[in-house]
Structure 1
Amino acid sequence: MQRPHRLAFDHFGIAVQSINGSRATYDRLGIASEWTEEVTDPVQAVRVAFARIASSGPRIELVAPAGENSPVQNVLARSRGLSQPYHIAFRTNDIGAALDFLRTHGSVQLTHVSAARAFEGSQIVFVSLKDGLVIELIEEP
């Protein structure tokens, strides 16, 4: 199967216990700027906020659990509550084609395709690559 037309890097996701606590750490160190407002997504059971690294670098997403059933709880439990790299996100112009392509290469779909508040209702899905890396696909409007 042919690769989807467009698959472009968007951000790194970092699992954290507290958006405010982690944000304060990044601010004190001077490594993140241009913070977005915190968004709670009840469908994904997470709270998120985005920032730029070094003002012109890639974006990061701080992802905190928003309830006991949040998938981020498992990530944090494995790291004994310490912040942990969580996923790498890519934008695509066709989420269905991207999913099909990844499945043919041994990837496993972790979540249903659903609208995400953090991306103004754009469709997202999480996938585990064959090597265990979790990626998020974000469909461009």
Structure 2
Amino acid sequence: MSSSRIPLAISIVLNVFLLGALIGGTAWLELRKPRLPDTLQAASRQLPEPERDTLHQALRDAWRDLHQTVVERRQARREAANLLQQPKLDTVALLAALDRARAADVAIRTKLEQRIVQFAAESSPQIRELLAEGLVRNLPNRH
């Protein structure tokens, strides 16, 4: 390796390390960040106890149904992390792993939202009003 390529190789290795630290740090912060109260799930806290219990049971059932998707998401993230640690970055494989993790995230969110919508469809207008109020309560005032 010529002397002009050594700094380039060092720079690439450092950039990969920094990218991994950035992704890992962001993921760590996102996992520990409390959910904002503008979500349907957080809005459920405004419901009377029987309806809240019914909704929470439906969400627990959804999570149970999503077990395999959660496992796939975890595996895809671990694969992405492993790829970032390799001496030679395989960007195609890394993007594929991140795509699988994102697809699993979307599938999980979609399933949970479908359960909440199903609950709302079976609820009274008063219960749906409580959910709606919870959804918009803490939205930022943007134009």
Q: TM-score, normalised by structure 2?
A: 0.22
Larger Rg: 2
Structure showing greater relative contact order (alpha-carbon pairs closer than 8 Å, 6 or more residues apart)? 2
Q: Which has the higher strand share?
A: 1
Q: Which has the higher helix share?
A: 2
